[in-house]
Structures are given as C-alpha cells and as structure tokens.
Amino acid sequence: MTVYNTPQLSVGDIAEAIGTLRQLSHQIEGVRQDFLTEGDGPQLPAEVTQLHLRREMTALERQIRETLIHTFGEHSRQARQFRESGFAAATAGRLKEGLVHLDGFIFDLEQTRLHLLEANGSPPVPGIDPMTDLYTEPMLRRYLEHEVAWSQRHGDPFGLLFVRLPHWSVFKERYAPSIAKELVISMACILKTSLRGYDFPSRLKDMEFAAVLRGTNGLGVNVVTQRMKGNCDAAIKHLLPGVVVPLEYCSAIYPYDAESIETLFSYAADHWARL
C-alpha cells in the first residue's frame, strides 16, 4: 500500500495559501462578471468570448491546482475533489460550484491554522480571542469608531452583522466539550471564509460573533449571509452528521438604520432572524 505524506506547513505557509485562494476566488468572480453576465452594452461574438473565457479559466485552474498540491498534497482529498469538479468547463454552474469548493478549501486551511496555533502554544495577544484568533468585542468597538468617522467623511455605508447559535448552553450539555470547542472553531472558520479580506470579524462571547462589512449595504449583507449559510451547512454536516444546528443573524446598516455605535447594536438586536 502506498502512503502519501501531507506537506508539513507552518502557520505562515497556511496564511499565504489562504491569501492565494482568496485572491483566485475574487478573480473567478471577476470572470463571471466579465464573461457570463449579459449586459446592455455591445457584446463580443460568442466565439471570441468563449476563447477568452477558456484562456482565463485554464490559467486559473492551473494556479488553483498548484496551490492545492503545494498545500494539501497531490493525492489529498482537496486536490482530488478539485480534479473531479470539472472546473475548467467554465459554465456558470461549474464556476458557482467551483467557488463553493474554494470556500471549502479555505475553511480547511483556516481550521488547520487554528489547531496549529493552539498546538504551538502561541502567547496570548491583546485584543485577540485565543481560541478563534478573531478580534474581541473591545477591538470591534474601537474599529467601529474608525469606520463611523470614515463614513461621515466619505459617505460610504457599512454593515454590522451578528451571528449566534441559540440555546448554546443546552448544546454544550448535550455534547462533549471537545465537540462544542470544535463547533466554535468551525464557526470562526465559517465567518472568515465567508467574509472579504477587508472585513472585520470578531468573537463577542461563547457562540456569538460579529463582523463589520465595509462599504456595503443591505444587499451586500444578504450576499454574505447566504454564503455563510452554505459554508455552515457543509461544516456542520462534516462535524455532526445528521444533526441540525440552527443559526440566527441580525444586521444594521450605517447610517441608514442607525447613526451611532450603540444604536447600531440595539437596532440589530431587535431584528434577529433564522439563517
């Protein structure tokens, strides 16, 4: 029997791979907008569009494949899953499925990074939650002060999103502490996977999380929450097969829903909904 070794990566290597996959994910979104979205302006001939689309997708496929092999190994589940995805077919459906796979790969890397940080016994960092490596609530509020000031100067709106697992105390009583801890870590990975690189994720307490979504409105918040739901369903299915874990969310948009940090919090708290 042949044994395949998984590459031994440092925290820095993993962070670099996450950054690369995020960048490639953004490029795929750009390709979707450029080639697979019909606009009102002049359209290129179909054969020209297909030629450029194929060229772009071939280059992206090669970069993703190389990143996965370098990070997970040539014979890893992730590399095999990508090979079987039919990503290079470059249809709208294939691209959407490819983005879901990329989210899964980023989730795997975020999870590995958190476990590696814990195993290395990294010293605590002020303003950072030690279990999830997310910002704490005081850091979130400090960041909000800067974001409010920026919005007042430039007129850019931003969203404040909250996510929680209801009845968390009941969940912890039902399952082993290791499962509860892994679910917290999974939620942190879901949050970071679903957000953009310039958003601001944080852990408030236990199973309550928040994020500042820069330069977005209500529609942008909906896009993030739907992406979060898909990533959450996949993670829960892997961690607790057959178990339904409901999540709740609420949000507020500055300056439309509220015009101060405290009223942002209170407005969101009045509008919880099931994710």
> CB of 94 within 8 A of CB of 85?
yes
Contacts of residue 249, defined as CB under 8 A and 6 or more positions apart, other chains included, come to: 161, 162, 163, 164, 225, 228, 272, 273, 275
Alpha helices in the chain (DSSP H): 11-35, 46-72, 77-83, 92-120, 137-154, 168-174, 177-194, 218-239, 261-269
Residue type for position 99: L
Question: What contacts 20, CB < 8 A, 6 or more positions away?
Answer: 63, 67
Query: What is the residue extent of each domain of the chain?
Result: 11-120, 137-274
pTM attached to this predicted model: 0.84
What's the CATH number for 137-274?
A: 3.30.70.270
Torsional sign, CA 114, 115, 119, 124: positive
Q: What is the dihedral of CA 54, 59, 64, 69, to 10 degrees?
A: 120
CA distance linking residue 115 with residue 117, whole number of Å: 5
pLDDT band at 82 (very low <50, low <70, confident <90, very high): confident
Per-residue pLDDT at 8? 81
Residue 68 has pLDDT above 80, yes or no: yes
The pLDDT tens digits of the residues spanning 26-59 come to: 888 877 777 656 555 445 556 666 677 778 888 8
Instruction: Check residue 83 and give its pLDDT.
Output: 84
Q: Rounded to whole angstroms, how far apart are CA atoms 6 and 8? A: 6
